[in-house]
Structure 1
Amino acid sequence: MTTINNSIWINAGEASGDMHGARLAKELMEREPDLKVMGMGGSAMEKAGCDIRYPMQMISLVGLTEVLPKIPRLLKLFGQIGDILKAEKPKAIILIDCPDFNFRLVKIARKLNIPVYYYITPQIWAWRQGRAKFLQKHVRKILCILPFEQQFFKDRGVDAQYVGHPLLDLMPLEELDTIEPDPNLVGILPGSRSKEISSLLPEFAIAAERLSKDFPQLKFSIARAPGIKEEKLRHFWPNHIPVTINQPENRYRLMRNSNVIMAASGTATLECALIGTPTLVAYKMSALSGFLAKRILNIKYVSLANIIPDKLILPEYLLEQATADNFYSQIRQWISSPESAQEVRAELSALRKMIGEPGVAERTAQIILDDINKG
């Protein structure tokens, strides 16, 4: 393939994508020192040596009401990126999640005959499975991060390869494995969004109050997410229940130190699962949103710790089930019956083996470069 220069465009639209994009860019440039990596991302990709043409904050939009006023600006942005791609003619474009933005870039790349690789694909197996046809038609290869995704995409004619979950590269699992859990510590992960915290943390606190009456020796520790102030967490936690607040950089240690955990649904529950700590998964949303989710989602479970093995390992308390009563009952069972918690740990150990080995960014970089270089 003839290219004007030896470059690759990576497009990431939010914090985790920026982090994973940075590791991938580093591996690409180590393998081809004269390779130039440019694109859209954040500070992590910039530190890794990427030429950030547009900051990812430009597309960090949530909700229809926020998107609509910015449509003219987004259309202008697509035009500008198209002009850059036309002028630079990178030898590949790598997209990271963000389907609503990145699917539009796929079309631009196709018109310019630039091959597209999708790393960390949108979870279309959960809903909008018809999007697989779009990927089959326009994307050269998909690099899957969940073991079952490869077969899902292959069944729909998409060239897909499983590389492992990028969390494996970020988590110091061997070091964490040496930490012995504290049998009296209950970890609390109330999430990273204000709505999650305001709806779940008060319920976690009520459960904690009841648990401390049953088990006076218990200690509670909350993991503070980046961008969330400690005062906000304490606002939803009663003063008479002692609690420590862990800083974001200590969250993995807290997950391992804890005997059991109450957590908001999200990436953190998969992290807890990989670390091996029994965790209850909680999620609340409005009645209307819950009704719509039940109608459009094509999944049995919400936590990847359950979706990947297709079995319920971590108990899920969703919508109207996300109550202090249910949280109390589940944690009480694990504490009063340690063998039930041990069964969960054994299941989580098997799950970790299923997810694969570290070195995800290295494998992904090599697969992409081999594929590009073969023509």
Structure 2
Amino acid sequence: MGTKRNGESIWLSAGEVSGDMHGALLVRALRQRAPGVRCMGLAGSAMEEAGCKKVFDISELSLMGVTEVVAHLPRVLGLMRRIYARLKAERPRAVVCIDAPDFNFFVVRMARRLGIPVLYYICPQVWAWRKGRVNFLRDKVDRVLCILPFEKPFLAAHGLDADYVGHPLVDQIPFADIEDVEPDPNRVLILPGSRRKEIESLYPDFLAAAKRMHHVRPELTFTVVRAPGVDRAALEAALPAGLPVTVEEPENRYAAMRGSGAVIAASGTVALETALVGVPTVIAYRLSPVTYALGRLIVDVPYISLPNLIMDTEVFPELLQEDANPEDIAAKALGFLDARTNAEVRATLSRLAELVGEPGAPGRAADIILGRLHMTATDGAGA
């Protein structure tokens, strides 16, 4: 007897803000192609606005490295138990995991235990570290959808036939709406991240770097972009007196990027966003000493930011751990404000769009997911 499933429902599992944004585009593409499909799961505000029922909120999973996960283990385990119970009750046609492997691999196991097909959208960065996870994907996931051009051949070399759909950021960024925005060479954008830990760790140093820059060049102005789910009042409370700085809402972030001479950002998806928009960016990141020490042992890539990895050169400087200090951040950002350097970096970034694929990644992913579900339904009907 086949597993009883809940109509045409699909469970989506995002783990953080970037996954929520990608998931929102996927939900819209799924509903456009299959209006009767019901999307639900672990989601954020973007997926909810796109029509996904937010059964659990990604704010419950705003974690970073190994030590941070361990510190919140009881809460994470509780969330897992609740998700398993809901999956068991809902019996969706499929589970679609979106990035966040440290959590979503447990979701994969839960779905497999319940006999629910699993697709993985936005392949985990198994090419960077813990390459043995390729075996898990090959054995436990029905289909893996890649968004970076080098992922498919890497997975193929490890016995996993995946689909390359292109990067959803190409669809997410409203290029037509911002193409007329002129960069202000005296404006610096600050992107402190979306996770509480990274904001606590980096935001004070970003602001201290801004003060140093303003001391050297008093004509500079600064804008902080609030990420979804981050408290605006907390960001404003930390602003230094006398610094010409404003806080911008997340829905205006792309225009703010386009209108800036340079960006200071926490490492993450935002680095690829600023690269595709074409703005020179200083990347900074800081982890707990234990997480960083473990990372150095197991990470096997020359860069941490996607633009550098895709272009195979350090377009954006990467300041990690003790190098992510106000002095070095300010120096790198001021260097990007030099007119000649700024123009050279922008020219280099103009070639990036060719490497990340054509628009339409969420639609291609939706076609594969719905096609896979049709195959599953057909197989079950013939059993």
TM-score tier by shorter-chain length is: 0.7 to 0.9
Inter-CA distance 3–35: structure 2 relative to 1 (3 Å threshold)? farther
Cα RMSD for the two superposed structures: 2.8
Structure 2 partner of 1:128: 130
Of 166-175 and 250-259, deviating more is 166-175
8 Å contact kept, 1:270–1:305 = yes
Number of equivalent positions: 369
Structure 2 partner of 1:350: 351
Match of 2:119 among 96, 109, 117: 117
8 Å contact kept, 1:13–1:60 = no
Q: Any idea what SS the aligned residue of 1:183 has? A: strand
Given residue 98 of structure 1, which amino acid in structure 2 is its aligned partner? A
Match of 2:220 among 199, 218, 221: 218
TM norm structure 1? 0.87
TM norm structure 2? 0.85
Q: Distance in 1 between matches of 2:265 and 2:21?
A: 23
Given the alignment of the two structures, is residue 66 of structure 1 paired with residue 72 of structure 2, yes or no? yes
User: Which structure is richer in relative contact order (CA contacts within 8 A, separation 6 or more)?
Assistant: 2
Inter-CA distance 46–324: structure 2 relative to 1 (3 Å threshold)? closer
Structure 2 partner of 1:243: 245
Of 140-149 and 312-321, deviating more is 140-149
Given residue 360 of structure 2, which amino acid in structure 1 is its aligned partner? G
8 Å contact kept, 2:281–2:316 = yes
Note the C-alpha offset of 1:175: 2.3
Given residue 298 of structure 2, which amino acid in structure 1 is its aligned partner? I
Structure 1 partner of 2:177: 175
Q: Distance in 2 between matches of 1:331 and 1:257?
A: 15
Give ranges in structure 1 of 5+ residues lacking alignment: none
Given the alignment of the two structures, is residue 81 of structure 1 paired with residue 82 of structure 2, yes or no? no
Q: Distance in 1 between matches of 2:227 and 2:125?
A: 24
Structure 2 partner of 1:143: 145
Note the C-alpha offset of 1:345: 0.8
Match of 1:261 among 250, 260, 263: 263
| 1:274-285 alignment runs, 5 A limit | 274-285=276-287
Of 323-332 and 299-308, deviating more is 323-332
Of 203-212 and 297-306, deviating more is 203-212
Of 282-291 and 141-150, deviating more is 282-291
Note the C-alpha offset of 1:197: 3.2
Note the C-alpha offset of 1:310: 2.2
Given residue 65 of structure 1, which amino acid in structure 2 is its aligned partner? A
Note the C-alpha offset of 1:106: 3.0
8 Å contact kept, 2:10–2:37 = no
Q: Distance in 2 between matches of 1:295 and 1:248?
A: 35
Q: Distance in 2 between matches of 1:249 and 1:179?
A: 15
Inter-CA distance 115–315: structure 2 relative to 1 (3 Å threshold)? same
Give ranges in structure 2 of 5+ residues lacking alignment: 64-68, 379-383
Given the alignment of the two structures, is residue 310 of structure 1 paired with residue 316 of structure 2, yes or no? no
Structure 1 partner of 2:162: 160
Structure 2 partner of 1:209: 211
| 1:82-101 alignment runs, 5 A limit | 82-85=88-91, 90=93, 92-101=94-103
8 Å contact kept, 1:201–1:237 = no
Q: Distance in 1 between matches of 2:38 and 2:232?
A: 41
